[in-house]
Structure 1
Amino acid sequence: MSELFDEVDEEVRREQLKKLWDKYSLYIIAAAVLIVAAVGAWRGYQYLEAQKAAEASAAFEAAIELADQNKNAEAEAAFDKIATTAPSGYRILARLRAAGEAAARDPKAGAKMYDELAADRSIGAELQELARVRAAGLLVDTDSYPNMLQRLEAATKPDATFRHTARELLALSAWRANDTTAARQWLDMIAGDGETPSALRQRAEALQALLPPVAKS
């Protein structure tokens, strides 16, 4: 008797499934087609992005070779092209390299390009700070100490990534401006930071030796 009930239940389930299929089969098939199409589109997108990345990598390597051969104008043009056509990561790197190549022929032009990067929030705070420090490095021999201070003071904070270089540039700028008080302030900050790189610490000590002794009260 139980087997008979089982057969009846099975027949009922089949009938219910058939009714559901008849009612919703078009929707099920359409959903399956959409899923297959979406997966195919995503795979195609991934392939195209991989192709773009490979092309950008090859172009970037070629531009670096031009730079290594001291073909600065050609390298700058190549990096500029990458900066406008490549995926976002390569665009940022290319802009940084293009600024470096421009600096080799014209420091002010290079500094201007770095300043543009420093003002671009889309590249991230750390790269903005790097660009700001590099621009200041190009201008340290020509710009005034107040201008250098305005450029770099925020980058000298204890948690700033490029604080060591920023402090050294400000110390050098103050020394060139004969502002021994400010120069000593930055040199003392360099000496008091346990994470200051040894080579930079040595340069700071050499600059400290050039300063006049502190007047005794």
Structure 2
Amino acid sequence: MSEFFNEVDEEVRREQLKKLWDKYSLLIIAVAVLIIAATGGWRAYQHWEAKKAAVAGDAFNKAIELSEQGKHAEAETAFANVAAKAPGGYRALARFRAAGEEASRDPKAAAKMFDAIAADGSVGAELQALARVRAAELLVDTAGYPEMKQRLEADTAPSATFHNSARELLALSAWRAKDATATRHWLDMIALDGDTPPGLRSRAEALQALLPPVAKS
């Protein structure tokens, strides 16, 4: 008797499945095709991205070779081409290298290139901060202290990635401007920071020795 009921249940299930298939077969087939197409498309996209990255890597390495050979103008052009066509990571690196090549010929123009990177939020906060410091390094001999302070003061906070470099540049700029008070302010920040690297601490002490003695009341 139980076998009879089992057969009946099986027949009912088959009938239900047939009705479902008749009703939704086109939808099921369409979904399956979409899944296959999406999987194939994703793999094709991954292959395309990997190919782009490989091409960009080769172009980037060739630009580095030009730089190492002293062909700075050609290297800058090559880095600019990578920056225009490469995926995100190589693009940012190439922009930095192109600005670095320009720095050997025209520091002010290179500083503008670094400023453009610093203003581009797509490169990330750390690279923006590095670009601000690089631009300031190129301008420290020509820009006035107020401009340097405007550029770098936010990067002197202890939590800032390049606070050591920013403080040193501001101390140097203030010293060049003959602003002893401002120079001492930045040198004191360097001296009191337990994380200051030894080399920077030594340079700060040397600059401190060049300042006139503090007047005693």
Asked if TM exceeds 0.5, the reply is yes
TM norm structure 1: 0.98
Structure 1 unmatched runs, 5+: none
After superposition, the CA RMSD in angstroms is 0.9
Question: Does 2:193 correspond to 1:193?
Answer: yes
Aligned to 1:52: 52
Distance of 1:26 and 1:136 partners within structure 2: 65
Letter in 1 for 2:64: I
Aligned to 2:16: 16
Percent same amino acid among aligned pairs? 73
Letter in 1 for 2:105: R
Distance of 1:96 and 1:196 partners within structure 2: 26
Distance of 2:139 and 2:164 partners within structure 1: 17
Question: Does 2:204 correspond to 1:207?
Answer: no
Distance of 1:5 and 1:41 partners within structure 2: 48
TM norm structure 2: 0.98
Question: Does 2:163 correspond to 1:170?
Answer: no
Shift of 1:122: 1.9
Aligned to 1:114: 114
Distance of 1:210 and 1:122 partners within structure 2: 42
Aligned to 1:130: 130
Shift of 1:60: 0.8
Aligned to 1:150: 150
Matches within 5 A, 1:30-41: 30-41=30-41
Aligned to 2:6: 6
Letter in 1 for 2:80: D
Shift of 1:178: 0.8
Distance of 2:26 and 2:43 partners within structure 1: 26
SS at match of 2:104: helix
Letter in 2 for 1:124: G
Shift of 1:123: 1.6
Shift of 1:135: 0.5
Q: Cα deviation per residue 1:100-154 (whole Å; 9 max; x = unaligned)?
A: 1100111111111111111112222221111111101001011111111111111
Structure 2 unmatched runs, 5+: none
SS at match of 1:135: helix
Distance of 1:18 and 1:150 partners within structure 2: 75
Q: Cα deviation per residue 1:75-112 (whole Å; 9 max; x = unaligned)?
A: 10001001110011111111111111100111111111
Aligned to 2:89: 89
Letter in 2 for 1:80: A
Moved over 4 A (4+): none
Shift of 1:212: 1.2
SS at match of 1:105: coil
Distance of 2:88 and 2:177 partners within structure 1: 40
Q: Cα deviation per residue 1:57-78 (whole Å; 9 max; x = unaligned)?
A: 1111111111111211011000
